[in-house]
Amino acid sequence: MAPSSAKGYGHLYQYTNCRILRDGKIFIEDLWVRDGKIMNPEVLFFVEKVNADQRIDCSNMIIAPGFIDLQINGKPDSNLFLFTLIPTGGCGYDFSTESQVEEGLKKVSHGVLAHGVTSFCPTVITSPSSVYKQILPKIKKKNGSKEGAGVLGVHIEGPFIDREKRGAHPEKYIKDYDNGFSDVLEVYGDLSNVAMITLAPEKKKTVEVIQEFCKRGIAVSVGHSNANLSQGEEAVRAGAKFITHLFNAMLPFHHRDPHLVGLLTSDKFPQNRKVYYGLISDGIHTHPAALRIAHRVHPEGIVLVTDAIQATFLPDGTYPFGEQTVVVKGKYSYLKDTNTLAGSTASLDECVRLFAKETGCGHALALEAASLHPAQMLDIVDKKGTLDFGSDADFIMLDDDLQVRATFIAGECVYRAQ
């Protein structure tokens, strides 16, 4: 058989001596890639009757779908960028100006490649309405490339959250939507670049608001909330399908009312409705025992997120966080003079490794929790989050310790470990 390109098709790559992740299992099989897509070898052999133009020996590495981080507040490397989109003084970028937003996105998109992230949602926390209206139109959705990971859309975390469970969000900007979705539009303005929104489901007119978000194709998450289980269930029936950083910034599980944590086992939803939930598996935000509880109760809903902030990988010290100050001590980051955690300083590959270690879930589930599950939640699994035939060739190579050795977007190597 002739090479693919010799018969008028695109350049065909065959990745050999590898173990691929597909359908919850890791097994020995070659991976075929052409024109940025995962190819079906049966079609190549029996229909097109072509061979690979190039074979790549993968040295028995694991090939998995590229990671998708639904909650990145800042850049996980030595540079400083903050997606709160509030002026950050001398410690990062003021994303309220067009040039800084574009530069910040470029830096973040490139920086996360080393951690296996091929797509992500820049996360904007509670901010003034004027900031949303200026910035949201500028954080445009884009495909990944050698320049950096793809932007799936903005994750707006606030300002429609509970004041008591605000975490590191500035209280003075928190709002309600007593007049329904008109209040939402008044605060945000243009929603065309938004992929998901976190809100507190106990607020008045939440059902109406959730339904309107869903009509616009925006995923709704519940979080930063004092809601009881019944209020959470009502939100899910209205269309919400995600829980923002489970266990954090919400009422704890109680045997008489398990609150939002109880959504993991609720039987009050339509039969085809699945609830996903974010876990910050950084060894700080969520105790290993809590990780194990969530994993054993609802493994197919796990979505690993970083909630990374501007101080990630930086030395101990104090750093601006919007109009507030963050104190970093080791892996901990707190709002100054409080015991309130202010985001994470972990990368997504670290979270995957720690989750696999602490839960004993195995490599396959840990990797799917950072790839397949977020893609399912955003309804993009036809393109992202799998190695299924026809999917985008966004994938990573890892060793047996789940260290990222290479990152590929649309079949092109965009990062390789030294």
Query: Phi first, then psi: what are they for 193, rounded to 5°?
Result: -100, 10
Exposed (0-12), middle (13-18) or buried (19+): which is 44, by Cβ within 10 Å?
buried
Contact between residue 407 and residue 66 where contact means Cβ atoms under 8 Å apart: yes
Residue 294 labelled as part of a binding site: no
- CA angle 124/129/133 to nearest 5° reads 75
Residue 285 labelled as part of a binding site: yes
Indicate the DSSP class of residue 310: T
What residue type is assigned to position 324 of the chain?
Q
Contact between residue 127 and residue 214 where contact means Cβ atoms under 8 Å apart: no
Residue 342 labelled as part of a binding site: yes
Residue 249 labelled as part of a binding site: yes
Residue 70 labelled as part of a binding site: no
| Calpha distance 152→68 (Å, rounded) | 9
53 Cβ contact partners less than 8 Å away, ≥ 6 residues apart: 3, 4, 5, 6, 11, 12, 13
In sequence order, what are the beta bridge partners of 329? 332
| Calpha distance 246→128 (Å, rounded) | 26
Extended beta strands in 271-311, E state? 276-279, 302-304
Residue 27: HSE in the Cβ half-sphere, 13 Å Cα cutoff: 6
- CA angle 136/307/274 to nearest 5° reads 85
Residue with tokens 């190549």: 44
Indicate the DSSP class of residue 113: G
CA 37 to chain CA centroid, nearest Å = 22
Residue 169 labelled as part of a binding site: no
Extended beta strands in 182-279, E state? 194-199, 219-222, 242-243, 276-279
Contact between residue 2 and residue 44 where contact means Cβ atoms under 8 Å apart: no
Residue 227 labelled as part of a binding site: no
Question: 3-state SS string over 121-148?
Answer: EEEEECCCHHHHHHHHHHCCCECCECCE
282, 307, 349, 392: the catalytic one is 307
**Strand bridging mode 67-72 / 302-304:** unpaired
Q: Is 257 a catalytic residue?
A: no
Question: Which parts are annotated binding residues for Zn(2+)?
Answer: 157, 224, 245
Catalytic residue set: 307
Question: Which parts are annotated binding residues?
Answer: 157, 168, 224, 245, 248-249, 256, 285, 341-343
Question: Which parts are annotated binding residues for substrate?
Answer: 168, 248-249, 256, 285, 341-343
